[in-house]
Amino acid sequence: MIDLENVSKTYAAGTPAVNNINLHIDKGEFVFIVGDSGAGKSTLIKLLLKELEPTEGKIVINGKNLGRMRRKKIPMLRRDIGVVFQDFRLLKDRNVYDNIAFAQRVVETPTKVIRRKVPAMLSMVGLAEKYKSFPKELSGGEQQRVAIARALVNNPPILLADEPTGNLDPNNSWEIMKLLEEINKRGTTVIVVTHNKEVVDAMQKRVITIKKGVIVSDERKGGYIYEG
């Protein structure tokens, strides 16, 4: 599903943000990526989305070698990866229905399909009755649910969640993580970048810890590993 071989990324200053990373994530896995600020997590996300090019190494996603991918194929790659952000990134001038539908209109999905898929996604995230609401009328947890629905509406095989509970209180954080776990059980590969030690320790999923651009631990069923 996802393979990184000897991947490094060095910026102009010369210090590697990601240094010789080797990583394999199977289809259907649920993986946490953890580490302090500046550890290289954001760089890793941008490499997976082909927003950055590695200085060295090879990245393969769904059998596609990103290094050999032509620019016109990048949008197709990104359709395979649904992304959820800490700050939700909803369109404030559109209601919940139109926020989710927007992701389908971008890829020219027929209107009749949109009319079927959007309500189904809202039901899945528990917001069927909120379809006319605007983002400002929703709680943080509800906004994140809308963001998840939008990320999944085009059926991507991979969901990448970047600090999905960073702006949420503990109760909403747990609800979002339960939703991500349910999505994973349906077959989607879920990768969660987070600082939330409590969630990571409780969920007992695979945990990859990055420090100074290097993978320092890869626990198949473990918690947050702190490195001194």
Q: What are phi and psi of 58, to 5 degrees?
A: -130, 140
Residue 180: inside a domain? yes
One digit per residue, the tens of pLDDT, for the chain of length 228 reads 999 999 999 988 778 899 999 999 999 999 999 998 889 998 999 999 999 999 999 999 999 999 999 988 888 888 899 999 989 999 999 999 999 999 999 889 999 999 999 999 999 999 999 999 999 999 999 999 999 999 999 999 999 999 999 899 999 999 999 999 999 999 999 999 998 888 999 999 999 999 999 999 999 876 655 544
Taking 3-state DSSP, the helix, strand and coil percentages for the chain, each rounded to the nearest 5, stand at 40, 25, 35
Residue 85 lies in a domain: no
Is residue 8 classed as helix, strand or coil in its secondary structure? strand
Place of tokens 């503990």: 170
Handedness of CA 36, 21, 53, 224 (dihedral sign): negative
The domain boundary residue, chosen from 155, 171, 197: 155
For 209, the domain range is 1-80+157-228
Last residue of a domain, one of 118, 136, 155: 155
State the angle between helix axes of 140-152 and 170-185 in degrees (0 to 180), rounded to the nearest 10.
20
**Do 73 and 167 have their domain in common?**
yes
Query: What amino acid is encoded at 13 in this protein?
Result: A
> Do 177 and 203 touch, CB atoms closer than 8 A?
yes
Q: Are residues 124 and 141 in the same domain?
A: yes
Residue 114, phi-psi category: left (phi > 0), alpha (psi -120 to 50), beta (remainder) = alpha
- Counting the structural domains of the chain, the total is 2
140 & 180 share domain: no
pLDDT in the model for residue 228: 43
How far apart are alpha carbons 162 and 121 in whole angstroms? 20
- Do 163 and 224 lie in a common domain? yes
d(CA 133, CA 136): 8
Q: Which among 140, 155, 170 is the end of a domain?
A: 155
Domain match, 143 and 164 both: no
Question: Residue 34 and residue 90: Cα distance in Å, rounded?
Answer: 25
